[in-house]
Structure formats: structure tokens, C-alpha cells
Amino acid sequence: MSFVEYGDTIKDGDTAIVFLGHESMFPVKVQHGTVTQTKYGVIRHSTDLIGKKYGSKVTCSKGGWVFILHPTPELWTMNLPHRTQILYSTDISIITMMLELKPGSIVCESGTGSGSLSHALIRTVAPTGHLYTVEFHQQRAEKAKEEFREHGVEHLVTVTNQDVCKNGFGVSDIADAVFLDIPSPWEAIGHAKSALKAEGGRICSFSPCIEQVQRTCLALEEYGFTEINTLEILLRVYNVRTVSLQIPDLGKAAEDNSSTGFDSSNPSKQGSPGANLQQGTVQFKSGVPLREMVGHTGYLTFATKS
């Protein structure tokens, strides 16, 4: 099993996603002799998982059933253990596009955090690219290394435990893109410029506060970056509902008015037989936005090394 290479069958040591429903799923590490409890009953790894195909429908001990899914960066983002605040697919999608990432790209990232964006970056640059990710917190860096190893992507990523604002990324003049998700990104702009390739490299900084954006933009200008722009991505979800509306009978009412000698100057004659007819209804599908939506997460500032 690997997050960048699809495997057909579930093997001992794999990370799999137990899917109970669209709003209920969780990751599990498959191991011989282990059981997993769900609201539908027990899943026995040795008999219910190992050797089965990904996507299989597994019956639990209470008679209920679940699906076992192959892990992807998108599913991992929805189910990973949170060590920090994470980026979600809405922001991740625009980051990978605006940084112009592709298989073979070299990317530098700080900080690693819970690894949500890291997995998406690795899948994008595989199989010949590489991710250099820097995490200030030692325990988070060690946990990230462990997860990358378990997920079969350790050959595509290098995790470094250091302060990127003081020590940089540990590489020079090779990166196609740099991503910063740290409290003071303006302090790391110089190191980011050193890590980027000679010309045309892209940088992205994620910051929740506009004051951070302002200082980062000033630093980008100071170091000669061009095409500086800031985006905010908001996701608006719609529910599809069946709506019933009355059918207006405008044409028939007009015909009745003319045939009965309707006189607009006489208020007593302003009744129309068609106006009293019971109107029908029609049903159709309509998109209705949710009453509540996920609001501001952060600002994404992009720039190009000139």
C-alpha cells in the first residue's frame, strides 16, 4: 500500500480507511490478530481485511457493514490525527495549481504540521519529484517521518527538524516551489529565495491574519519577487432539494378578459372567471445553499522569483 501507488488487495501493515458513511469514516492500521470496534460490530483484521480487495463491503459482527477504502491524500485530510490546524482540500487544490506543480517538481515546505498538505504535495510530484519539509517541533517531525514511512512515501520526502527562519530548508537553488505555513513567514522569505531555482520559482504563504499578509508582501517586494497576489478561497456547499411552485395561468386570464368584455373603467366588472381557477403545481430540482458555511480559514499569498 502506498499513497502514490494503488494496491489491489489489503495487506498486513497497510493503512486503510473504514467507511461507515459520508460523514463517518476513520483510518485503521491493518495488523494480524487485531480487531477494530465500530457501531456495527467488530472487524477482525485477519479474516475480514487481510487479503480482501480495497473497496470491499465487510460485514461486522452485529450484522452491519462497512466499506474498506484505499487511502488517498483527500481521505487522509478528512481522517488524519490532528497535531496542528490543517489545510483542507479547498485550499490545497488552489495551492498545487498556483505553484504549477507536476510530476518531477522539487518542493520545499514549512511547517509540516499534521501532514495534510504534505501528502497532497508528495502525490503531485511523484514519482520523480521530492518534498523537503521542515518542522520546528521535534515530536511532530518524528511523527511525520513515521507516517511517511508507514504510507510508503518516505523515498519522496525529507523531513528536517529545525527553525526555517534561522536555518532555512537545507537546500539551495533547486526548488521549483516553496510553501510557508508559519507564524512569521516574512522572516523566511530570504531562505525561500535561496532554496528556489535561479529563475521562475513560485512561492506561497498561508496566513490567517491580514497583518501577516501585509508584512509578507513587503518582504517579498524587498527580495525582488514579482506577480505578488493574495487570494481567499471560500467553499459554499449547496443542497439539492425538490421544490413545488404554482403554475401561473397568465395566458388564460388574458383571454377571459377579452371574451367577457372586460372594462377597466368599471371597478364592479373587474372580476375574471380565470382568476378563480385552481392553479396547478410543478416540481423541480433546485440547489439551496446551507444556512451555515465554513468561513475564513486563511489568506494565500503567491509570488514569482524574478
Residue 114 is labelled as binding a ligand = yes
Q: Was 290 annotated as part of a binding site? A: no
Q: What is the DSSP letter of 248?
A: P
Lookup: cell for 292? 451555515
CA dist list (Å): 55 to 4, 24, 44, 46, 66: 17, 16, 16, 17, 10
| Torsion 235-236-237-240 (CA) sign | negative
Task: Please give the angle made by the CA atoms of 138, 139 and 141, to the nearest 5 degrees.
Answer: 65
Give the 3-state secondary structure of residue 189.
helix
The answer to whether the annotation marks 116 as part of a ligand binding site is yes
Check the annotation: does 12 bind a ligand. no
User: In sequence order, which ranges of 184-249 are alpha helices (DSSP H)?
Assistant: 189-195, 210-222
156 is known to lie in a ligand binding site: no
Closest CA to 133 of 37, 265, 142, 80: 142
Q: Tell me: is residue 115 an annotated ligand-binding position.
A: yes
Q: Quick one: which of 221, 237, 164, 225 has its CA closest to 199?
A: 225
Residues 192-217 as b or e (16 or more Cβ within 10 Å = b): bbebbeeeebbbbbbbeeeebbebbb
What single-letter DSSP state applies at residue 265?
T
**C-beta neighbour count of 143 within 10 angstroms:** 18
Three-state SS at 185: helix
Q: Which residues are annotated as a binding site for S-adenosyl-L-methionine?
A: 114-117, 135, 181
Q: Which residues are annotated as a binding site?
A: 114-117, 135, 181
